[in-house]
Amino acid sequence: MFDYRTRGQIPQIGQLVVVPFGKRRQVGLVLDIAEYSQLADARLRDIESILPVEPLPDHTLALIRFSSDYYQCPIGQAAFVALPAALRRVRYVGPKPQWQYVLTDAGRELRPDQFPARATIKHKLLEALRAKPVLRRADLLAVSARAAELAESWVREGWLEKYAGTVPSPRSDFRTTAQHELTEEQRNAVDAISAELGSYSPWLLEGITGSGKTEVYFRLIERAATRGLQILLMVPEINLTPQLEERFRERFPDLRLVSLHSNLAEGERCANWLAARAGEVQVVIGTRLSIFTPLPQLGLIIVDEEQDGSFKQQEGLRYSARDLAIYYARQRRVPVILGSATPSLETYHNARSNRFGHLHLSRRPAATRAPIKLVDVREMAKGQSISDQVLQGIGARHERGEQSLVFLNRRGFAPALVCNACGWNAGCSRCSARLVWHLRDAVLRCHYCGHQERLPRACPSCGNQDLKGLGQGTQHLEQLLCERFPDARVLRIDRDSTRRKHAWHTMQDDIRRQRVDILVGTQMLAKGHDFPKLTLVVVVNPDSALFSTDFRAGERLFQQLMQVSGRAGRADLAGEVLIQTQFPEHPLYQALVRQDYRSFAEELLDERRLAGFPPFVYQALLRADSQSESALMEFLDYAAGNLGTGHEAVTVYDPVPATVSKIAGHHRGHLLVQSASRTELQRFLSEWRLFLTRRKPSRVRWSLDVDPIEL
């Protein structure tokens, strides 16, 4: 926080102002207005101007403050996350007025035959005005490039009325298109939650893909919107597809919906945010950042796929949008729904201990549940990566004109180049990571720092010319499938193949139009996409996650496998899921075959309780990095040795190098602290942070990560 003097107009709390900051000018957020400053008068600088934006409402300011406190992050940085980029520019001049044109009484008297026949634009404009009572700029452009000019002249004639911006306020008599008869479970869910509209109540809505959660959301949105309330629907980054928006608009053609995510153009994101702020839209669909959207009439928050890692921001303000949603719902006294097929253990634990209401959709109303089968690959020939059973399954689908998906869980599993003679493997010179072998471009690439090099002809260490690939990547699988099924159309979907803008959308379209027979891919394919002809899902190598050092790996693996299984047989075609494993007896796979997340979750919770892991304790991570390894360790030791006093409830572990201990020449390490009491941990962190901040600047960058989900 910084002090400034007001000159002339006094801004309101929550307003954005332009201030001198160092040698530059910056946009600042007014947090408080005081009579006096601790600063000497001579050092105080003046606020230059006030940006033409309504002040942020109190509840948004409170959310920003809370995030800043809880996630141990300077408030300026928190505000920075909350505001669209356009509003952080000193030159911001306010939204362009959105003029709208409506016929006046005189205008309604106009007859087409008043205009000469060759005045085609006049005829067209009149026609457009009769078809649609309010014309915006875009509508005018659709009539003709010169229609805007003509409309202006009609304003002067007194035939048109022109007004700026605000669209008539939300209607409560909106249409909804045809809908299903709800199942009893769905009806119970809708009734239970809608009875709580107007008060804080958190819910877990548990149900596998296709069990009708979205249908429940839609009914609740309908009920909330009927009361003039606004709804915030948050989804994981990758689920925010045009299909979802389309499905929504089809269902509620009259409701005003905007989306908010980081891929929007700056102007559009700002316009959507302002429209939400002004109460002109009823529904905001967005990714994690949308939690900060000021919604004056907020009535309901929905977090779909609440277990998804993309709700947690991994830099700057390291917030969890799901957790903030719960905080915010309480503050605004509205219900919050966390939807998931496989809830995070945190949420599951909250539901089981009655802190959250627990609703369950146990069946798929419109499709059967695809059976999950294990394929034991212990006996498979060395070097073979897809079993005969799986290949037969893919072949059979292909003959029937159905699609198969071969899914590779690539976490910690990527093709590497190794020398069998001396054990050398290709590593990145700037990171402590193995280089990934990209078959197509014949290069080795570092997935941490982007470094890239040609494939060596021989082992740089012993000269052996017979270098081997270790492990399969999607490109290897793609090649193998193309060879095996020469007349099938194979499509690979991963970060490389979808890098170009819109590539992924085009691909989804191709899949839906059945221009593809076999899909090969990673995470991107696991989520939320509905491909009606897809009947077989194959998971190639999920085993490595069973032996991860991350205590969340098992939970994540189950979640991911359930999710990708949900891709099989959504429509009227029966689906099947085949999982290749060397450990078919493992309890995780056994629970998966029974599609029994609950018993697995119970088991994991027992383990976590015994081991003293979240959700039974609260954690925070001090992350640090430096080009100097000794400076890094010195800093972490210093941090571990200066913990203040009176924090017996907090446990501090030893400093350790990060899993990837060096990235782009920066050594990385961390220090884990935890406590059974959230309050005690918070109290400790605030003190500790002040202490660390006061330490003289060193060559170390550091940050605190509260409730980290990755070590």
User: Could you say which of ligand ADP, Zn ion, none residue 551 binds, taking C-beta under 5 to 8 angstroms by partner kind?
Assistant: none
Among 67, 68, 201, 214, binds ligand ADP (CB under 6 A): 214
**With CB cut-offs between 5 and 8 Å by kind, which of ligand ADP, Zn ion, none does residue 451 bind?**
Zn ion
Q: Return phi, psi of residue 685, to 5°.
A: -60, -40
Shortest gap between Cβ of 566 and ligand ADP (angstroms)?
Answer: 7
Closest approach of ligand ADP to the CB of residue 565, in Å: 12
Q: Which is nearer to ligand ADP, 209 or 472 (CB)?
A: 209
- Contacted by 449, from ligand ADP, Zn ion, none: CB < 5 to 8 Å by type: Zn ion
Shortest Å, Cβ 573 to ligand ADP: 13
Q: Which is closer to ligand ADP, CB of 188 or CB of 331?
A: 188
**Contact flag: residue 559 with ligand ADP (CB under 6 A):** no
Residue choice 90, 182, 470, 574 for contact with ligand ADP (CB under 6 A): 182
Take residue 78 and report the two structure tokens written for it.
């928190």
Of the two residues 214 and 674, which places its CB atom closer to ligand ADP in the complex?
214
- Cβ nearer to ligand ADP, comparing 50 with 361: 361
Residue 318 neighbours by CB under 8 Å, 6+ apart: 71, 73, 312, 703, 704, 705, 706, 708
From the CA atom positions of the chain, what is the Rg in Å?
A: 29
Beta bridge partners of 623: 670, 703
The entry of ligand ADP, Zn ion, none that residue 14 binds, CB within 5 to 8 Å by partner kind: none
- Per the CB < 8 A criterion, the answer to whether 428 and 452 are in contact is no
Residue 422's binding partner out of ligand ADP, Zn ion, none, with CB under 5 to 8 Å set by partner kind: Zn ion
Q: Is the bond preceding 615 in cis, omega lying within 30 degrees of 0?
A: yes
User: Does residue 219 belong to the site contacting ligand ADP (CB under 6 A)?
Assistant: no
Check binding of 529 to ligand ADP (CB under 6 A). Answer: no
Nearer to ligand ADP, 121 or 571 (CB): 571
Dist CA 615 CA 602 (whole Å) = 12
Told to check if 183 binds ligand ADP by CB under 6 A, we report: yes
Residue 214 interacts with which of Zn ion, ligand ADP, none, CB < 5 to 8 Å by class: ligand ADP
Q: Say which amino acid occupies 420.
A: N
- Tell me which residue of 603, 531, 559 sits closest to 305, measured CA to CA: 559
- Residue 424 binds which entry of ligand ADP, Zn ion, none, CB below 5-8 Å type-dependent: Zn ion
User: Which of 515, 477, 521 has its CA nearest to residue 497?
Assistant: 521
B/e letters for 645-658, b = 16+ CB within 10 Å, e = fewer, are: eebeebebeebebb
Q: How far apart are CA 77 and CA 71, in angstroms?
A: 11
Pick one of Zn ion, ligand ADP, none as the site partner of residue 430 (Cβ within 5 to 8 A by kind). Zn ion
Given a contact cutoff of 8 angstroms between Cβ atoms, the answer to whether 448 and 393 are in contact is no
Residue 575 contacts ligand ADP per CB under 6 A = no
Per-residue tokens: 495: 């970060």
Q: Nearest distance from residue 522's CB to Zn ion, in Å? A: 20
Residues that bind Zn ion (CB under 5 A): 419, 421-422, 424, 428, 430-431, 446, 448-449, 451, 459, 461-462, 464
Q: Which of 11, 28, 107, 207 binds ligand ADP (CB under 6 A)?
A: 207
Q: Give the shortest CB-418-to-Zn ion separation in angstroms.
A: 9
For helices 553-565 and 597-611, give the axis angle rounded to 10 degrees. Answer: 170
Binding partner selected for residue 611 from Zn ion, ligand ADP, none, CB under the kind-specific 5 to 8 Å limit: none
The yes or no reply on residue 215 touching ligand ADP (CB under 6 A) is yes
Q: Counting contacts by CB under 6 A, is residue 299 touching ligand ADP?
A: no
Helix intervals (H) in 18-119: 58-70, 75-82, 105-108
Q: Would you say 68 or 211 has its CB closer to ligand ADP?
A: 211
Residue closer to ligand ADP (CB basis): 367 or 377: 367
Least Å from the CB of residue 663 to ligand ADP: 37
Q: Can you list the positions of beta strands (E) in 523-617?
A: 534-539, 576-581
Evaluate whether 80 touches 89 at the Cβ level (below 8 Å). Answer: no
Which residue, 364 or 552, is less far from ligand ADP as judged by CB?
364
Tokens of 359: 């609703």
Question: Nearest approach, Cβ of 427 to Zn ion (angstroms)?
Answer: 9
Q: Where are the beta strands (DSSP E) in 51-199?
A: 99-103, 135-136, 160-164
User: What tokens were used for 389?
Assistant: 């059973």
Q: How far apart are CA 618 and CA 621, in angstroms?
A: 10
Closer CB to Zn ion, residue 63 or residue 446? 446
Q: Closest CB to ligand ADP among 186 and 523?
A: 186
Q: Is 195 in the site for ligand ADP (CB under 6 A)?
A: no
Tally of residues, the chain:
711
Which of 11, 28, 170, 212 contacts ligand ADP by CB under 6 A? 212
Angstrom distance (rounded) from CA 122 to CA 588: 70
Which residues make beta-bridge pairs with 162? Answer: 101
Counting contacts by CB under 6 A, is residue 162 touching ligand ADP?
Answer: no
The one-letter code for the residue type at 568 is A
Q: For residues 576 and 51, what is the distance between their CA atoms, to the nearest angstrom?
A: 57
Residue 344 binds ligand ADP (CB under 6 A): no
Nearer to Zn ion, 278 or 421 (CB): 421
> Please, what is the minimum distance in Å from the beta carbon of residue 464 to Zn ion?
4
Nearer to ligand ADP, 213 or 492 (CB): 213
Instruction: Quickly tell me which residue has 């059976």 as its tokens.
Output: 371
In the complex with ligand ADP, which residue's Cβ is closer, 419 or 534?
A: 534
Question: Shortest distance, CB of residue 446 to Zn ion, whole angstroms?
Answer: 3
Q: Does 191 bind ligand ADP (CB under 6 A)?
A: no
Task: Report in angstroms how near the CB of residue 401 gets to ligand ADP at its nearest.
Answer: 21
Given ligand ADP, Zn ion, none, residue 207, with its beta carbon under 5 to 8 Å by kind, binds ligand ADP
CA distances, 171 to each of 297, 471, 475, 476 (Å):
13, 57, 52, 55
What does residue 110 show for φ and ψ, rounded to 5 degrees?
-60, 140
Contact positions with ligand ADP (CB under 6 A) in 349-368: 365-366
Q: Is 406 exposed, middle or buried (0-12, 13-18, 19+ CB in 10 A)?
A: buried
Contacts within 8 Å (CB) and 24+ apart, 354-357: 355/202, 356/202, 356/203, 356/204, 357/192, 357/193, 357/201, 357/202, 357/203, 357/204
> What residues line the site for ligand ADP (CB under 6 A)?
180-183, 186, 207, 209-215, 365-366
